[in-house]
Structure 1
């Protein structure tokens, strides 16, 4: 996966690094980027060399600013048929959300760590809402400008509500471009799990991704799937599904290795967060 036009892709230590790379338009996405991101998620499902993913962007100005409204492929009336209204009525409609989120679009249950290196707004929430862990640079900001420019904030706000309290989702969506949430506030409400200085962002993301990638893949992926089931289903439904997931996520060799490690008395070095 090294022939991308809008992304940089690298693998090291069981971790795939996907870097958005359209800095001239603040990493907003056109249809090319949408297809390339979707291809990454799909290909990673079958890439057994990768057990965790870091998603970030080049530079330190922006992580992603949503749809590139100046791109002919999205903004013009003759945009490709894989985006926007299909046919004479609005009942057949394709949205960027069909292509970008790792769980919805890619059915990917390998953990995705988002390293937010600057401004994240609008359609960036297609990516962030389905990341598993978000780490932000201190200068990162979050906002949704849809309403300011006469557009309803619908899919992004629905997805954001899976990660933040109701009032916070409403405030981000309704304040539009007039207010930005700081990385500190995003951490306070649980949208972001860690805030670090800008020059430590890649190291912090690598630390989390590499630890996760070093652990048994089946157990890790089943854990991710179980937690998202619990987020999406009713409580009792999730517990019932969990009875199957716990069986699927248990590999006898991994379990034996883990028991041997515990019995050896050697304890895992840990750090406080």
Structure 2
């Protein structure tokens, strides 16, 4: 998990910490970053030392501001390499969604906790829409400027709709750069699950990620997959798939340890939210 140019990576206590690291462009992604994020998701699938992931960005100005249209590594701003139409017909189209989302692109079912440390806009939703839990600093903002600059907001809006009500998606998408959603409003509509002071952001993300990572990996991953299946499938279809996931997510040793803990009267220290 080494050799990244645009990411910082470390592991602590069963948690992988991924930090977007292009502060000079507010963590906008170029081709290198897209490929590195995709590689990171893929490698985490096979890394049994990691049971949860925290995704954040360096500094306090921005989490991610979408595609870097000026990056040399991207190429022509009208048809950047790895983004847009490939070839003479429009039937071969590549999008950042082929590289960035942890589930669609990375097929990663380990929980991803996003710690949003500032501005998050446009292509940031490729990452945020498929995070499992989002924690935001008080000053974080969310918006999608596509329409303001003559571009349709398509994939970002579709993905965001999996997390928040349609009216909120329409407002974010159609008002473009004219309005930004605050962290508090994002919390009110369910996009964000916790809002904290910037100084407390890393600790809040660590608390959630470490608690998840301490639990049996199979049960956690099957739970994540079940919940996303329920988003993607019809209700009855999801329930049918759930019968399989119950078996896939249950390990006899984990069940025995859990039963022993319960029988001994052991209680997990908890906090109210």
Q: TM-score when scaled to structure 1?
A: 0.98
Q: Contact (CA 8 Å) 2:79, 2:85: kept in 1 or not?
A: no
**Number of corresponding residues:** 272
Q: Contact (CA 8 Å) 1:218, 1:250: kept in 2 or not?
A: yes
Residue 67 of structure 1 is matched in structure 2 by: 67
Q: Does 1:57 align with 2:60?
A: no
Q: Contact (CA 8 Å) 2:219, 2:249: kept in 1 or not?
A: yes
Say which is worse superposed, 82-91 or 214-223, in terms of deviation.
82-91
Residue 207 of structure 2 is matched in structure 1 by: 207
Q: CA RMSD in A?
A: 0.9
Gaps of 5+ in 1: none
- For 1:148-187, what aligned pairs fall within 5 Å after superposition? 148-187=148-187
State the shift of 1:73 in Å: 3.2
Q: Distance in 2 between matches of 1:197 and 1:240?
A: 42
Q: Does 1:96 align with 2:70?
A: no
Gaps of 5+ in 2: none
SS in structure 2 at match of 1:195: strand
Residue 22 of structure 1 is matched in structure 2 by: 22
Q: Structure 1 stretches (4+) deviating beyond 2 angstroms?
A: 72-75, 77-80
- For 1:107-186, what aligned pairs fall within 5 Å after superposition? 107-186=107-186
Q: TM-score when scaled to structure 2?
A: 0.98
Q: Contact (CA 8 Å) 1:72, 1:79: kept in 2 or not?
A: no
Measured against aligned partners, the alpha-carbon deviations of 1:83-105 in whole angstroms (never above 9, x if no partner) come to 32111111210000000000001
SS in structure 1 at match of 2:262: helix
Q: Distance in 2 between matches of 1:61 and 1:42?
A: 28
SS in structure 2 at match of 1:258: helix
